Copies of this chain bind each other. A is one copy, B any other.
Amino acid sequence: MRSAELDPLSRTFAALADPTRRGILARLSRGPANVGDLAEPYEMSFAAVSKHLRVLQDAGLVTRGRDAQYRPAMLDAAPMAAASAWIDDYRRFWEHSFAALDDYLTTTRNATTHNEEQES
């Protein structure tokens, strides 16, 4: 499915479905950054990070500026509002089952990237 013609919600979710991109967003939540800064934590080429950035930009989650040879990126979380709203319609399907919720929150927060991404 060419993401160019994907609906906005699909594009947002697709953009978020990658740990590197979520990491980039986490970094940007602490302020604007250049590609170099953003690439630093990852063992991949500059160009690869640049591509991830483009995906985020196409999803509207990131806007880019211009400062000399730098193209600083900054967070724009607005598209997440729609994603959040969509998911929240299903909240009642897990909220009455706290065991499952707990399960997911803990395994996910531990095993994954969530806290690492936040680097907090």
Contacts and interface: CB of A to CB of B under 8 A. Distances in A.
Interface of A: 1, 6-14, 16-19, 22, 25, 29, 60, 75-91, 93-94, 97, 100-101, 103-105, 107-109, 111-114, 118
Contacts of A1: 18
23 contacts: A6-B17, A8-B104, A8-B107, A8-B112, A9-B19, A9-B112, A10-B18, A13-B13, A13-B14, A13-B16, A13-B17, A16-B83, A16-B86, A22-B86, A75-B93, A76-B94, A77-B90, A78-B93, A80-B90, A81-B94, A85-B114, A87-B87, A89-B118
Contacts of A60: 104
